[in-house]
Amino acid sequence: MAQLTRQKIRARISFGNIDVSTPNIMSFHVTRQRGQASATFSASIKIDSSGFFSSNAIIGDSIVIEAGTSGSLRTIFTGKIYKCTVNPIRTDASKIMLNLAGSDVISVMQNQHITRRVKSYKDGTRAPERWAAVTQVTHPYIEIIKKWPNRIVSPKKAAANLNYMPGMGDVVYTPTIDMSDKLVDRSVLSPSEGITTEIDNSDME
């Protein structure tokens, strides 16, 4: 018969100058839904009533949630606090209950207009528009790319239809068109080399 082994699970929530650990953390929940840009969290914690002044003072503060076995806590969530509700604890007047909610740092980009070029306004009536750049790819070759390789979008059928180059076994190469509208054929040489061949436009519509 299988036996259950008890594990001492602990948690720690830090924000501002407040650091709360088990058993004063009643519950916390982190949610990340498909299609949702940022993750959200909610937590209920108990803190000393003497060291807390206003719920508005912690709105916008950074929060870190850690959890795991005793002595080995892992970071579960990092983000911002956007909602705080204070409730009394009638069985312990020295403490209060904080109900917190918020989102991770990606939430600051919601409803923002991002452009490749920084557009500014000389009259000074409006602030410069936001600008963003991709500086690092964490997983450059994930499973979805293996299953669905990049496809070229081109009015030239000879280029658009060559997604799998012959003669290279299971290796997939996306066809490339150079500056002179020539197809770079990598199927006859090594992956680091290539030759250019004229594209046959006879089947073009």
What is the mean pLDDT of each successive set of 10 residues along the chain, which is 205 residues long?
Answer: 77 91 91 83 91 82 90 89 92 90 84 68 70 63 55 52 45 47 47 42 45
pLDDT at site 192? 43
pLDDT at site 82? 93
d(CA 88, CA 95): 7
Top-level class of domain 9-108: mainly beta
pTM: 0.55
| Buried residues in 28-58 as b, exposed as e (16+ CB within 10 A) | beeeeeeeeebbbbebebbbeeeebeeeeeb
d(CA 98, CA 17): 15
d(CA 195, CA 78): 49
Question: What residue spans in the chain does CATH classification 2.30.300.10 cover?
Answer: 9-108
CA-to-CA separations, 30 to 27, 97, 119, 191, in angstroms, rounded: 11, 19, 37, 44
**DSSP conformation class of 165:** -
pLDDT at site 189? 41
pLDDT at site 201? 44
pLDDT at site 7? 73
